[in-house]
Amino acid sequence: MTILIFFHVLAMFIAFALTTGTGIFMAQTLETEDVNVVRTATRVNRRLGMIGGISLLIGLILGFAIAGEAGFSMTSTWLIVTYVCVVILLVLAFGVLMPYIARLSAAAEASGQQASPELRALLANPIPRTAGPLAGLMWITIIAMMVLKP
């Protein structure tokens, strides 16, 4: 079981780094409003985000297996809080952030050397600027639940 815990934690660290970590970097690079930077950053973010998402799914599967094997009640408060945070995280990722990055990438590719009005509007969109930090808070809560098990 120790090896499963190791791989669960490893998968989740990779997922965090390649989703939230790249998201933080992405938010900083978008501040430049440089079309070439946006093009490159969105390409890299989409690739790393995909790996992070796969790692997250692996980590979730391992987490369920470990909780069941360890005899934890699947309705423990700390696990329910974790489930809710994971659902919110997935909704933010698949419903807000990934579609935003895809639209941003398309707008950057369609722009010339200067940002098009569509790209400027996407860069000014406050929703992803809120969704990103909210996703970060979900990760922090998930980590706290895993460590503290209140």
Q: Is the model's pLDDT at 150 over the cut of 80?
A: no
In tens, the pLDDT along 92-107 reads 999 999 999 999 999 9
Q: What angle do CA 148, 11, 49 make, to 5 degrees?
A: 115
118 touches 107 (CB < 8 A): yes
Query: Which residue segment(s) compose the domain that 105 sits in?
Result: 2-148
pLDDT at 30: 87
Please state, in angstroms and rounded to a whole number, the distance separating the CA atoms of residues 150 and 147: 9
Whole-structure pTM value? 0.88
Residue 33 has pLDDT above 90, yes or no: no
pLDDT value at 31 more than 90: no
| pLDDT at site 111 | 92
Distance CA 137, CA 94 (A): 17
Quote the number of domains for the chain. Answer: 1
Q: What is the DSSP letter of 30?
A: H
